[in-house]
């Protein structure tokens, strides 16, 4: 890919690692961030710094105008900008929920639409940085995982709509990654946890204590919900490079430990069984397993790689 790629949320963490990987491959990069210090550091990497808050419609339009004026087109768009947040659902004010969705869901939609002419002209790629939380959820993670479930649907619909026009869309689904997202949202998380009403306040208090006095993971102990393994941002960046450069990119890529991936697979299996056993289906075990075998073979499960619709 020789046309430029635009990466949002490029100031640190996963976004910064993606910019570094692209520049190492000599790909020109529009590196979007909000802080002056981040923009200066990105320029030092040889990227074109771009001030962009995906919640701001005027800044989104200005970014699209800058890409058009630069004249090299746009070969790829990586939606990495995102925010987190924790607290029991009862502790989430409407304004906090709306702000989270404005960045994690409306932001990608807003920016994609502004850049669609350039992406269509280049028959480019779009990569959304989602989360394993787009398939699973857990107590206190509701709104964040809701936003990532929505991003899953957005990416899948976009993939189907743009495939006939030569634009491939993938979503990368990381597990735990060593970034600043938790520190950046620390005060907001503590405020929501403190305001959580009974009977959920006990759970909220326990989570608040874990934020104030975090326990470092024990590498000698098995991985669990309380003993996570954090992947480096470079691991996610490597998969993003595959999605941007592969002749036949996958629709979805999981990135993380086997323990994390197993949680996703188990959740999807449970949904599949629930659907098969619904009264309108009445499918028995043998019939369901045969459907799974057929799908596995048709999608290259024997070791081959099927042609993805988005790459045709």
pLDDT one digit per residue (tens) for the chain, 312 residues: 589 999 999 999 999 999 999 999 999 999 999 999 999 999 999 999 999 999 999 999 999 999 999 999 999 999 999 999 999 999 999 999 999 999 999 999 999 999 999 999 999 999 999 999 999 999 999 999 999 999 999 999 999 999 999 999 999 999 999 887 777 889 999 999 999 999 999 999 999 999 999 888 888 999 998 888 889 999 999 999 999 999 999 999 999 999 999 999 999 999 999 999 999 988 999 999 999 999 999 987 654 444 443 332
Tokens of 1: 């890919």
Active site residue 144: yes
Tokens of 13: 């963490």
Domain assignment of residue 301, yes or no: no
Measured in degrees and rounded to the nearest 5, phi and psi for residue 124 equal -85, -160
Name the catalytic one among 17, 107, 127, 144: 144
Residue among 43, 38, 34 nearest 63 (CA)? 34
Domain assignment of residue 283, yes or no: no
Quote the DSSP letter at residue 10.
Answer: T
**Tally of domains in the chain:** 1
For the residues of 186-247, what is the DSSP string, one character each?
A: HHHHHHHHHHPPTTSHHHHHHHHHHHHS-----TTSPPBTTB--PBPHHHHHHHHHHHHH-S
Distance, in Å, from the CA atom of 59 to the CA atom of 287, rounded to the nearest integer, reads 53
CATH code (residue 235)? 3.40.50.720
The residue range of the domain holding 156 is: 5-257
Domain assignment of residue 274, yes or no: no
Residue 301, pLDDT score: 64
pTM of the entire structure?
Answer: 0.91
């Amino acid at each position: 890919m020789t046309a430029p790629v635009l990466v949002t949320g490029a100031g640190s963490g996963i976004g910064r690692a993606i910019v570094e990987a692209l520049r190492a491959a000599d790909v020109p990069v529009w590196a979007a961030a909000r802080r002056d210090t981040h923009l200066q550091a990105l320029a030092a990497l040889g990227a074109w710094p771009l001030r962009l808050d995906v919640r701001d419609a005027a800044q989104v339009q200005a970014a699209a105008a800058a890409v058009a004026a630069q004249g090299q087109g746009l070969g790829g768009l990586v939606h990495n900008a995102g925010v987190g947040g924790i607290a029991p659902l009862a502790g989430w004010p409407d304004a906090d929920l709306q702000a989270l969705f404005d960045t994690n869901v409306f932001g990608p939609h807003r920016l994609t639409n502004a850049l669609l002419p350039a992406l269509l002209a280049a028959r480019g790629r779009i990569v959304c940085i989602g989360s394993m939380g787009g398939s699973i959820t857990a107590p206190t993670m509701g709104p964040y995982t809701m936003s990532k479930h929505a991003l899953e649907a957005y990416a899948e619909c976009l993939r189907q709509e743009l495939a006939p026009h030569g634009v491939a869309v993938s979503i990368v689904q990381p597990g735990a990654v060593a970034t600043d997202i938790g520190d950046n949202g620390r005060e907001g998380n503590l405020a929501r946890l403190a305001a959580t009403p009974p009977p959920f306040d006990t759970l909220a208090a326990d989570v608040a204590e874990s934020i104030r006095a975090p326990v470092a993971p024990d590498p000698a102990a098995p991985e669990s919900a309380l003993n996570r393994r954090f992947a480096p941002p470079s691991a996610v960046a490597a998969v993003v490079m595959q999605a941007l450069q592969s002749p036949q990119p996958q629709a979805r890529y999981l990135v993380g430990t086997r323990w994390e991936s197993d949680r996703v697979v188990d959740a999807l299996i449970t949904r599949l069984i629930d659907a098969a056993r619904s009264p309108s289906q009445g499918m028995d075990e043998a019939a369901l397993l045969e459907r799974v075998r057929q799908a596995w073979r048709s999608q290259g499960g024997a070791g081959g790689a099927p042609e993805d619709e988005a790459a045709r």
